[in-house]
Amino acid sequence: MNPAHDGHSQAPDTIELPAPTAWPMVVALGITLAFAGFVTHAAVSVVGVALALIGGVGWWREVLPEQRVEQISVRPIELPPPVVVPSLPVGRARLGEGGHRTRVPVEIQPYSAGVRGGAVGGIVMAGLALVYGLIVQRSLWYPINLLSAVAMPSLAQATVDELRAFSLPAFVIGTIVHALVSVLVGLLYAVVLPMLPRRHMLWGGVAAPLLWTGLVWSVLGIVDPTLGAQVDWPWFVVSQIGFGLTAGFVVARARPLATMQTWPLTVRAGVEASGQERDR
């Protein structure tokens, strides 16, 4: 016989499976009731045995003398088209190239630049404040005493003549407060400016002083309106912009340090390999 004309050589459209039946569940229920009668009542066991026998006979007739079957249609399996993987060269993505993920900032300024910027900016701001004291108030001590009034409540209620007079405690406190605040703001410039767009002079010299002035003005207006009324806010803005421009210039001129994401994998993982110091 030619296998090509044999009907069994072709895949059938249907297959035979045993027909579904509920008799096994009847048998299981009967057995369960038969054992449950041992702890309840003998009638329960009698009912269980009867159900088990009836279910067993029904299950037997499902199989003998001829098993009941059910025809199940078979659907042909459609295989997907083969996947063709192009052989492309593997290139190393660079930071920020082709949508490559980059953590901001890629470079940071050293903290020493922030300290230097804060110190130089503080000197420039102090000079502008002293110029204001000489020109407007005819006293070098007026801006120092006014700054010390934040920590000395007695100076917050002082008259203009008292603010123009020299006070050693006010001079010491004002100098310390001014130096600490200048250095801290310089450090803040070194941390924040690298995360902003590449216009450090604009952000640090104009935007930040204006925001800082608005914050100080609003706080003094609530905490101590009397002290806020004695501050010459135009000159305050000028001195803050002088500090911001100077500190921003010093921080921007410093040599930036690359973050760890720019280092080779061997350096980041701490693996000693030849040439890693050169790559780093």
Residue holding tokens 């404040």?
129
pLDDT of residue 123: 92
DSSP 136: I
pLDDT of residue 32: 92
Quick check: 236 and 213 in contact, CB under 8 A? yes
pLDDT of residue 191: 81
DSSP 12: P
Q: Which of 133, 150, 131 is nearest to 141 (CA)?
A: 133
Residue 189: other Cβ atoms inside 10 A:
27
* Domains in the chain with CATH codes: 14-73 (1.10.287), 107-262 (no CATH)
**Using CA atoms in the order 102, 105, 107, 109, what is the torsion angle rounded to 10 degrees?**
-170
Alpha-helix residue ranges (DSSP H) falling in the chain: 23-36, 42-63, 111-132, 141-148, 153-156, 160-164, 168-192, 200-202, 208-223, 225-229, 233-253, 265-268, 276-279
Q: Which of 224, 108, 216, 98 is nearest to 158 (CA)?
A: 224
- Each residue's pLDDT, cut to its tens digit, for the chain (280 residues) gives 444 444 445 556 787 878 888 888 988 999 998 998 888 888 888 998 998 999 888 888 887 877 787 887 877 777 788 888 777 776 665 655 555 555 666 777 888 888 988 899 889 998 988 888 888 888 888 888 888 887 787 777 778 888 888 888 888 988 898 899 889 988 888 888 777 766 767 777 788 888 888 888 887 777 667 667 777 888 888 888 888 888 888 888 888 877 776 666 666 666 665 555 544 4
